[in-house]
Amino acid sequence: MSRLVALAVLTILTLLAPPLAAAELNVISAGAVRGVIGGMIDDYARRTGIKFNFTVGPTGRLRSIIASGEPADLIIASAPLMAELEKTGKMTPGSRVDLGRLGLGVAIRDGAPAPDVSTPEAFKQTLISARSIAYTDPALGGTSVIHLMALAERFGIKQEVIRKGVRATGGNDAVFKVAEGKAEIAVVLISEIHVKGARLAAPLPEALQLYTVYAAAIPANSADPANARAFIAALTDPAMAERWKAAGFAPPK
């Protein structure tokens, strides 16, 4: 009888005990990737119970955030930034996984005629003809705006592009400004063109294109490297390939 009583007491205590807190992953991520993995995160969170806390921004902002020592269990960034981080010795050796390769495109408002950007000269004329151009604030160091300004300088129209500029906090925000009618076009990473009211007009012509590989890696001071590693495995599962492709990503080379 005493054994039955003990078992009953143990059962009651188990029922009354507070549930274990769900694991949380702190992720610092490039905006170009955060929008793509939104649906994947929702599915993964429902399946595992893991909660995600995201800090998102363009490359320059991420560099500052990481340098400030903000805690993270997982970092998703462009390959150049990831290479910088690996040189610091603060990333877990062997944890890096390349997720995909992404190019730049021109975003326009739904219903607007698509400009011709099929050749370098056509893209130049589109920049000249556009009344306003949304792009990430250059002070934030985003991949797309750095390349846009380099092209504009090559074309000899940098000051004109700056004069027409509608500065945004990132590529997603630049596309929002197009959708809201605050800018005629935006030049951003293709994966960032997923805002209702805007669409991809076309990728940049191949001669001007800039492809960026994005990668995930685990900081050496991650509080939960096991769950971070499991999430990377989920992102790179072959079943996710179509989602990456639909967002404009190609397999990394």
Every domain of the chain and the residues it spans: 2-101+214-246, 104-203
pLDDT score, position 5: 41
Mean per-residue pLDDT of the chain = 90
Give mean pLDDT, residues 172-186. 97
pLDDT score, position 22: 57
Query: Is 2-101+214-246's fold the same as 104-203's?
Result: yes
Check pLDDT > 50 for residue 92: yes
Do residues 201 and 115 lie in contact, with contact meaning Cβ atoms separated by under 8 Å? yes
pTM for this prediction: 0.81
Q: Rounded to whole angstroms, how far apart are CA atoms 238 and 220?
A: 27
Beta-carbon contacts of 179 under 8 Å, excluding residues fewer than 6 positions away, are 109, 110, 195, 196, 197, 198
pLDDT score, position 10: 36
- Give the angle 129-166-103 at the CA atoms, nearest 5°: 75
What pLDDT band is residue 18 in, cutting at 50, 70 and 90?
A: very low
Do residues 29 and 36 lie in contact, with contact meaning Cβ atoms separated by under 8 Å? no
More confident residue, 76 or 17: 76
Give mean pLDDT, residues 2-22. 40
Q: Which of 38-42, 110-114, 164-168, 197-201 is the least confident region?
A: 38-42
In CATH, the architecture of 2-101+214-246 is 3-Layer(aba) Sandwich (3.40)
CATH class of 104-203: alpha beta
